[in-house]
Each structure stands twice: as structure tokens, then as C-alpha cells.
Amino acid sequence: MRRRAFAQAKGVAVADVRVAAARSTAFTTATQQIETTYKAQIDQQNTRGQTLQAEINVLIAKYNEESKKTPQNQTALQAAAKAVQDKRQAAQTELAQIGAPVDLAIAYVEDQISVRMNEAIKAAMTARKVDLLLNPDAVLARENNVDITDAVVAELNKILPAVSIAVPADYQPGQLVQQRNQQLMDAARAAQPGAAAPAPAKQRADHPLRSWRTGKIRTAPRGPRISAGSCRCCRIVIRCCSSTGWFRWCRTPRSTRSRR
């Protein structure tokens, strides 16, 4: 089936959806607004993160000292290791609570963009006469002219020039995407002859959302790592991604970013 699809495709291209979303006007404007609106929480999180990291460093030094002793006291060594682990977990929990409003605002921005992304992709494919679009990670070799990521960005800017950072009450990450998918499913059922009335959609607080920035499945706003600072790529981001190690809100393409 896959070979047949490739054989029948008249135009093949690639596009990085996560890069397109991050380059969009809606996302870049929203991140600037978030940095201003939630500056107090971000500054508090950075300051507290530095303090907690210093405390963890002290515990790590104690563990290192204990590990160098001869003979080693396994009970003391395990206790020192546990102290480091417990402190890290407590720090992550505390910082996540401080940054929860920021994470929720980011998730809401992502959700709004994700709902309209398919429209932008289809519009870009139509404009470029493409009937098969691939993720760059799935391609072994290609020419630069087959990348239509910029075209997706342009279409997304037309369809969704701006998004809101005002998170509605009781909003859960992925909620808008779930509602949109439910609407499409209901419309498909209604179009079928003799279709029964669709059941009300059940909203789950733990509905997963695959972030187009990280590609990771998450069920709630994530807390950042303890160490935080200015982005080494664009010098605007001041918090880091908890699961990938990439700085949050970075506008630099993933392939050219600098690791910490």
C-alpha cells in the first residue's frame, strides 16, 4: 500500500509542523505576551530554581565525598543518594507549581494553533500542488526545494494571525483538539445514512496532548528543570523544557539549536 501511494503521488514534499507552528506570527506574538503577563511567576521560578539548585549541589558534594571513602559505608552512601533524589523531586514539584500558570497558557496557545494546523497544511499543499506530504524525519535524502515548511507558516499566518493567552476557566491541555476531533466524528456520523444521534462528548481531565514542539505525550502542564536561564539560541527564552532539554519557547529551528 505504501509503495502504491508513492507511485500514485504526483507531488511529494516535506514539512516540519513543529517548526511551522513555532515560526508562526500567532505563536511568536503569544510567547512575547506570556513573557510580559507572567513575568512575576517566571522571575520567581528562576530565582527559586537557582536557590534549589545550590542546595542540591551541596547534597551532591556530600554524596561524592561519601563515595570516595575507603572502605565505603553503603548505608551512608545510599542515604546520601536518596537525599539528592528526594531534593530533586521536591524541587521539581515546587517549581512546577510556581510555573503552572505559565505552562497552562503555553498549552492553550499550542492547542489553538493545533486546531487550525491541518487547514494550513492542506492550503499549502494545494498552493504547491502537493498530494503527499512527509515529515522530514521520515525522509532519507531530499533537495531543499521540496520543503514547504515556509508555505505552511504563510498559510497558518493567514488562517490564524493571532491567538489568546487568556486561559478559560476549567481548561485542560488538549481540550480544544479533543473537541474539534469530536465535532469531526459527529459530522462524519451524521453524514452516514441512518446514523444515530451522537452521544455527548466526555471531556477527560487527563486527555493526552502531543505537543508539536516536543513530540511528547503529556497529560498536564509540565514543570521545568531546576536549572533555568536565557536561551543560548535566541536569548529570549528564560525557562527550559522539562522532557527534551531544549529551551522552552525557542524560535530557533530544532536542527540548529545549541544544547545546554
pLDDT tens per residue across span 124-142: 999 999 999 998 888 878 8
As for how many domains the chain has, the answer is 1
CA dist 187 to 5, 191, 192, 200, Å?
Answer: 27, 6, 9, 13
In three-state secondary structure terms, 132 is: strand
Structural contact between residues 28 and 222, judged by C-beta atoms closer than 8 angstroms? no
Mean pLDDT, residues 133-158 taken together: 89
What average pLDDT does the chain have?
Answer: 79
Q: Is the pLDDT of residue 241 over 70?
A: no
Residue 64 counted as domain residue = yes
pLDDT above 90 for 58: yes
Domain span at residue 62?
22-139+151-189+208-256
Percent of residues, the chain, with pLDDT higher than 90: 58
Confidence of residue 200 (pLDDT cuts 50, 70, 90): low
The answer, yes or no, to whether residue 16 has pLDDT greater than 90, is yes
> Which of these ranges, 84-93, 213-222, 237-246, has the smallest mean pLDDT?
237-246
Is pLDDT at 233 greater than 60 in this prediction?
Answer: no
Instruction: Give domain status of residue 200, yes or no.
Output: no
User: Which DSSP helix (H) or strand (E) runs through 134?
Assistant: strand 132-134
What is the total residue count of the chain? 260
Residue 242: partners with Cβ closer than 8 Å, 6 or more residues away = 92, 222, 223, 224, 225
- How far apart CA 50 and CA 56 sit, in angstroms, is 10
Residue 77 belongs to a domain: yes
Q: Report CA torsion sign: 54, 55, 56, 59.
A: positive
Q: What is the tens place of the pLDDT at every residue in 31-48?
A: 999 999 999 999 999 999
Lowest mean pLDDT among 63-67, 93-97, 215-219: 215-219
Q: What pLDDT, on a 0 to 100 scale, did the predictor assign at position 194?
A: 67
Please report whether residue 203 resides in a domain: no
Neighbouring residues of 196: CB distance < 8 A, sequence distance ≥ 6: 189
Q: Is residue 197 part of a domain?
A: no
The answer as to whether 1 is a domain residue is: no
pTM above 0.95, yes or no: no
State the pLDDT at residue 66: 94
- Asked whether residue 70 is assigned to any structural domain, the reply reads yes
pLDDT of 48? 97
What is the distance between the terminal CA atoms of the chain, rounded to a whole angstrom? 43
- Nearest-angstrom CA–CA distance, 50 and 226: 7
Residue 66 in any domain: the answer is yes
Please tell me whether residue 210 adopts helix, strand or coil conformation: strand
